[in-house]
Structure 1
Amino acid sequence: MSWAGKILRVNLTTGAVTSEPLRMDWAKEYLGSRGLASKYLTSEISPKVDPLSADNKIIWATGPLTGTMASTGGRYTVVTKGPLTGAIACSNSGGYWGAELKMAGWDMVIFEGKSPKPVYLSIVDDVAELKDASHLWGKSVWETEATIHKTHQDPLVRVSSIGLAGENQVLFAAVVNDLHRAAGRSGVGAVMGSKNLKAVVVRGTKGVGNLADAKEFFKVTAEKKKILHDNAVTGQGLPTYGTQVLMNVINEVGALPTRNFQDVQFEGAKDISAEAMATPRASDGKPHLVTNQACFGCTIACGRISKIDKGHFTVENKPQYWGASGGLEYEAAWALGAANGVNDLEALQYANVLCNEQGMDPITFGATVGAVMELYQMGVLTQEQLGIDAKFGSAQALAYFAEITAKGEGFGKEIGQGSKRLCEKYGHPELSMSVKGQEFPAYDGRGIQGMGLTYATSNRGACHLRSYTVASEVLGIPVKTDPLTADGKPELVIAFQDATAAFDAAGICIFTSFAWGLADVAPQVAAACGPEFTLENMAKIGERIWNMERDFNNQAGFTAKDDTLPKRLLEEPAKTGPAKGLVSKLPEMLPKYYELRGWDNNGQLKPETRSRLGL
């Protein structure tokens, strides 16, 4: 069995750090990472808890495949009750941190209470202790990592930390590891900051042993890596262009949300695309993109490493940003770009770098700026209030807002609350393009109908990583479905939601699902953990996780009324592209979704659903 078999519990209030055995009965039912951490969280906190109070808990968790030779086995999740939404929050990150925790001999770390002063947790194999972080408070993620490496005199120590955004309770603050990999959404970094927890530092030298059938595991993981290698998306598209390959594709299908979802196609998409990143600049003859990069154990290597043009207005007097750094992924490029009508690639990269450096989710940040620009366009917000002329398309305004939001200065404090609270404050709640308080990612539910249902029903608020129906509706994976129809979408969304939960729980990257189905994951988990992890059991684990999360949200106060979309998507037809004239067909899809899920008309689990899933 490839679980480490123990968890670390840290009481920040008292300073006690204790080890306890992993509940193996729960591991069999929820597997690990997202599933198992959510089970611990929902069993230990009240659904009504204030996310930023000492009574909330926050958990770093790995899966049974994390740290193994399974491809992409470097993932970890941060699970808590999210301050942006008030719903369950589970944010997933890659890089090397997750594998390091597993190799130190731990499945997860649970933090409870609140430290009276800034601290960080240091884990070196079996030895775990809280250390003073007063000297780190006020530092960026980058400065924090550098200082910790120097203090520990070990370049291989891995750091998961917050920057100024988390300290300042920006409600979409991220937890960042390896400088630019992030548990990005729902404000997990703000919870960390509320507890005066600056970083979790880990060094593991034990490796991962105890595979149920080591010989079979080596054989099956090699077979599955070949499938990834031979696939057009995971073997060619993502390594070459990263997720940014989608910019022109989604624009062409008429589902690229533009200027706060006023339009579904962006005339500047080609300027901020993967192809543009790879094209030499006129200014210095060098492309924006330097190379690709892989996380631990990954055979896909979709990460981008980029360099900003030294002469660009954002960095011309800031040499600290001239080096190679984490580059634009599709969601960030969309949120910072098309969502605001900005087609200046260098400005997008600058804002993205600030999000990495200070620990902010670029999706919620960019989408909130889009709402600000629309309020400015309407005359609701003024230049005097904002500190800058913030019309759609302004790269200057984007860069300025990124600077002041991370630092919590001026109007940046309001942007740091997210678009739902901001739009409500200024009298236009309908302009927040969000579900349950979390902003949409880069797909318009009018042009890709399955994504509208995905957003409305997602347990952590609007999200593409909970059911990526784009794979089927646009890319034809695993089968091609029509993006403009509601037919079959409830079934499709449920299949994606349950499978994704199982992938996450295993501790692998969801990008493998472009080439793998659960039938490819199950034998890897079975070889690592035991023969009971059949395809059927893995599917049930995914369904169980989804329903557990839903049940927690219901108890927290969410109802069927929250499974909706902004008026704009339901009432304003798309103006251009293949979806011209269409609105989201959510009202048609939702009742069928509830019925298939085994929920009542109020979106609550029926007794027989509970019983079948053992909830």
Structure 2
Amino acid sequence: MSWAGKILRVNLTAGTVQSEPLNMEWARAYLGSRGLGTKYFAEEVDPKVDPLSPENKIIWATGPLTGTMASTGGRYTVITKGPLTGAIACSNSGGYWGAELKAAGWDMVIFEGASPKPVYLYISDDVAELRDASHLWGKSVWQTEDMLKTSLQDPLLRISSIGLAGENKVLYAAIVNDLHRAAGRSGVGAVAGSKNLKAIAVRGTKGVGNIKDPKAFMKTTFEKKKILAENAVTGQGLPTYGTQVLMNVINEIGALPTRNHRDTQFEGAKDISAEAMATPRASDGKAQLVTNQACFGCTIACGRISKIDQTHFSVQNKPQYWGATGGLEYEAAWALGAANGVNDLEALQYANTICNEQGMDPISFGATIGAVMELYEMGVLTKEQIGIEAPFGSARALCELADMTANSVGFGIEIGWGSKRLCEKYGHPELSMSVKGQEFPAYDSRGIQGMGLTYATSNRGACHLRSYTVASEVLGIPVKTDPLTADGKPELVKAFQDATAAFDSAGICIFTSFAWGLADVAPQVAAACGDEYTTEELEKIGERIWNMEREFNNAAGFTAKDDNLPPRLLNEPAQTGPAKGLVNKLPEMLPKYYAVRGWDTEGRPTADTKARLGL
């Protein structure tokens, strides 16, 4: 089996670290990472717990393919109850940290309680101990990583940490590893901050040597890597342009949310696209994009490394930002750009760099700025309140507000609440483009109908990575469906949700699903773990995980009323593009979705469904 078979349990209140055996019955039923971590969490934590209280727990978890030679086998997840939503939070990250934890001989780390002072966890194979982090508190993610590697005299350490946003409990604070890979959504970084947990530093030298059938595993992973290499998306589009390849595509089909979802197309999309990132600037003749980059074991390499224009107003006096660092991906470019009407590519890169450095979700931050700018243009918010003129399109406001939010200064404190709480305070809750308190990603659900149902029913609040129907509705993967109709979308969304849960739990990147189906994942898991994991079994595991998450949320107080969209998407038709005249058809899709799921009319899994899934 390719599980390490051990977990670390850390009691931050008592300052203790203990090893315990992995529950193998749960591992076989929930696979690993997202599924297995959530199983532990749901069994141990009261669903009604205050997310920022010591009674909440937070778990770092790997999957059975994490750290192996499976393509993209570097993923890990952070599971907790999210402060942004109050729902189950499971945030996924790549880079190298997850593989390092597995190489040290651990499947997951469970943190309980809260430390009375800042601490970090040091892991070196079987050695694991809490250490004082007072000297790291107040430092950025970048500084924390550098200081730990220097003080511990080990440049090969892998660090997963929070920045100022997590320390200050910005409700969408991220946990960042390898400088710019992040468990980015739902505020997992704020939970770590509430526990005075600054970082986990890991060094693993054991490797993953317990593959059940090494020859079969090598054979099947080689075959599956070839499929990725020959696929137009995973072999060409993502390596060349990254996720930013979508900017012009989504804009052209009229599904690029613009100016807080007022519009569905952005006239400045071409200025902030992948093509623009690769085009030499007039100021210095150099392109913003330097190169692409891969995470551990990845044969796709969609990551971006960029270098900002040193003459740009945002960094003229900040040479620490002149070097190459993590570049814009599509969701961040949209949230910082089109969502606010900003087409200044260098300003977007600056704001994105701040999010990386201080550990902050650029999607929720950017979307919240969109709400702030709309409130400003309505006259509800003033320059005196915000601290700067903040109309749609203001690159300067975007940059200054990024600094203010990351540092929890002035109006940045309120931006750190997220759009739901901010809009409620100022009397316009309808202007928060969110579900369950989490802001939308970069797809307007009037132009891509399946994404409306995806957002409304996502267990962690509005999310594209729980059911990326864009693959089918726009890219024709695995089959082409009409993005402008509701027909068949309940079945499509369920299939994507269940499959995604299985991909996540295996410990591989969801981007492989552009080329792979579960039939490609099953033989890799089977050869690694030794059990008979068929395609059908993985489908059932994914469905089991989805229903488990739903059960947790229901117990936390969520009901069918929370499976909804903002009035703007349901009542205000798209004004331009192919979706002109359309609203999202959620009222038509949702009852059918409940029926397909085997839930009652209130969105609760029936007794028959739970029995079938072993819940």
Q: Is structure 2 residue 151 aligned with structure 1 residue 151? A: yes
Residues 153-192 of structure 1 deviation map (CA, whole Å, 9 limit, x = unaligned): 0110000000000000000000000000000000000000
Give the whole-Å Cα distance in 2 for the aligned partners of 1:210 and 1:293.
29
Give the whole-Å Cα distance in 2 for the aligned partners of 1:8 and 1:399.
40
- 1:314-463 alignment, distance < 5 Å: 314-463=314-463
Give the whole-Å Cα distance in 1 for the aligned partners of 2:414 and 2:591.
36
Residues 442-464 of structure 1 deviation map (CA, whole Å, 9 limit, x = unaligned): 00000000000000000000000
Give the whole-Å Cα distance in 2 for the aligned partners of 1:7 and 1:531.
21
TM-score by length of 1: 1.00
Other-structure match for 1:10: 10
Q: Is structure 2 residue 198 aligned with structure 1 residue 204? A: no
Report the residue type matching 1:153 in the other structure: Q
Other-structure match for 2:111: 111
Residues 190-211 of structure 1 deviation map (CA, whole Å, 9 limit, x = unaligned): 0000000000110000000111
3-state secondary structure, aligned to 1:602: coil
Residues 63-119 of structure 1 deviation map (CA, whole Å, 9 limit, x = unaligned): 000000000000000000000000000000000000000000000000000000000
Residues 382-415 of structure 1 deviation map (CA, whole Å, 9 limit, x = unaligned): 0000010000000000000000000000000000
Other-structure match for 1:484: 484
Give the whole-Å Cα distance in 1 for the aligned partners of 2:550 and 2:581.
33
- 1:256-271 alignment, distance < 5 Å: 256-271=256-271
Q: Is structure 2 residue 274 aligned with structure 1 residue 274? A: yes
Residues 193-246 of structure 1 deviation map (CA, whole Å, 9 limit, x = unaligned): 000000011000000011111100000000000000000000000000000000
Report the residue type matching 2:562 in the other structure: D
Give the whole-Å Cα distance in 1 for the aligned partners of 2:144 and 2:273.
32
Give the whole-Å Cα distance in 2 for the aligned partners of 1:211 and 1:388.
57
- 1:211-290 alignment, distance < 5 Å: 211-290=211-290
Other-structure match for 1:187: 187
Give the whole-Å Cα distance in 2 for the aligned partners of 1:51 and 1:228.
39
Give the whole-Å Cα distance in 1 for the aligned partners of 2:35 and 2:313.
45
Give the whole-Å Cα distance in 1 for the aligned partners of 2:493 and 2:466.
9
Give the whole-Å Cα distance in 2 for the aligned partners of 1:15 and 1:537.
40
- 1:32-51 alignment, distance < 5 Å: 32-51=32-51
3-state secondary structure, aligned to 2:129: strand
3-state secondary structure, aligned to 1:427: coil
3-state secondary structure, aligned to 2:185: coil
Report the residue type matching 2:432 in the other structure: S
Deviation of 1:531 (Å): 3.5
Q: Is structure 2 residue 77 aligned with structure 1 residue 80? A: no
Report the residue type matching 1:164 in the other structure: L
Other-structure match for 2:141: 141
Deviation of 1:140 (Å): 0.3
Deviation of 1:307 (Å): 0.4
Deviation of 1:530 (Å): 1.7
Give the whole-Å Cα distance in 1 for the aligned partners of 2:412 and 2:602.
38
Report the residue type matching 2:128 in the other structure: A
Report the residue type matching 1:477 in the other structure: I
Report the residue type matching 1:38 in the other structure: T
Give the whole-Å Cα distance in 1 for the aligned partners of 2:604 and 2:492.
21
Give the whole-Å Cα distance in 1 for the aligned partners of 2:327 and 2:53.
34
Report the residue type matching 1:581 in the other structure: G
Q: Is structure 2 residue 558 aligned with structure 1 residue 564? A: no
Give the whole-Å Cα distance in 2 for the aligned partners of 1:152 and 1:39.
34
Report the residue type matching 2:319 in the other structure: P
Report the residue type matching 1:361 in the other structure: D
Give the whole-Å Cα distance in 1 for the aligned partners of 2:92 and 2:151.
28
Deviation of 1:532 (Å): 1.8
Uncovered stretches (5+) of structure 2, i.e. residues with no partner? none
Report the residue type matching 1:263 in the other structure: D
Other-structure match for 1:297: 297
Give the whole-Å Cα distance in 1 for the aligned partners of 2:262 and 2:577.
13
Give the whole-Å Cα distance in 2 for the aligned partners of 1:15 and 1:104.
21
Give the whole-Å Cα distance in 2 for the aligned partners of 1:416 and 1:532.
46
Give the whole-Å Cα distance in 1 for the aligned partners of 2:279 and 2:454.
34
Other-structure match for 1:533: 533
Give the whole-Å Cα distance in 2 for the aligned partners of 1:67 and 1:531.
19
Residues 407-449 of structure 1 deviation map (CA, whole Å, 9 limit, x = unaligned): 0000000000000000000000000000000000000000000
3-state secondary structure, aligned to 1:60: strand
Other-structure match for 1:611: 611
Other-structure match for 1:313: 313
Report the residue type matching 1:138 in the other structure: G
Give the whole-Å Cα distance in 1 for the aligned partners of 2:481 and 2:353.
36
3-state secondary structure, aligned to 1:380: coil
Q: Is structure 2 residue 590 aligned with structure 1 residue 599? A: no
3-state secondary structure, aligned to 2:212: coil
Give the whole-Å Cα distance in 1 for the aligned partners of 2:486 and 2:476.
16
Give the whole-Å Cα distance in 2 for the aligned partners of 1:211 and 1:101.
16
Give the whole-Å Cα distance in 2 for the aligned partners of 1:318 and 1:27.
48
3-state secondary structure, aligned to 1:111: strand
Give the whole-Å Cα distance in 1 for the aligned partners of 2:210 and 2:290.
39
Other-structure match for 1:94: 94
3-state secondary structure, aligned to 1:320: helix
Report the residue type matching 1:440 in the other structure: F
Give the whole-Å Cα distance in 2 for the aligned partners of 1:480 and 1:277.
29
Report the residue type matching 1:388 in the other structure: I
Report the residue type matching 1:218 in the other structure: M
Q: How many residues align?
A: 615
3-state secondary structure, aligned to 2:7: strand
Give the whole-Å Cα distance in 2 for the aligned partners of 1:152 and 1:332.
33
Residues 464-513 of structure 1 deviation map (CA, whole Å, 9 limit, x = unaligned): 00000000000000000000000000000000000000000000000000
Q: CA RMSD in A?
A: 0.3
Other-structure match for 1:584: 584
Give the whole-Å Cα distance in 2 for the aligned partners of 1:488 and 1:535.
22
3-state secondary structure, aligned to 2:121: strand
Give the whole-Å Cα distance in 1 for the aligned partners of 2:534 and 2:574.
43
Give the whole-Å Cα distance in 1 for the aligned partners of 2:59 and 2:204.
18
Give the whole-Å Cα distance in 2 for the aligned partners of 1:210 and 1:395.
52
Residues 264-286 of structure 1 deviation map (CA, whole Å, 9 limit, x = unaligned): 00000000000000000011000
3-state secondary structure, aligned to 2:38: helix
- 1:127-138 alignment, distance < 5 Å: 127-138=127-138
Other-structure match for 2:167: 167
Give the whole-Å Cα distance in 2 for the aligned partners of 1:123 and 1:166.
22
Report the residue type matching 2:391 in the other structure: K
Percent pairwise identity:
83
TM-score by length of 2: 1.00
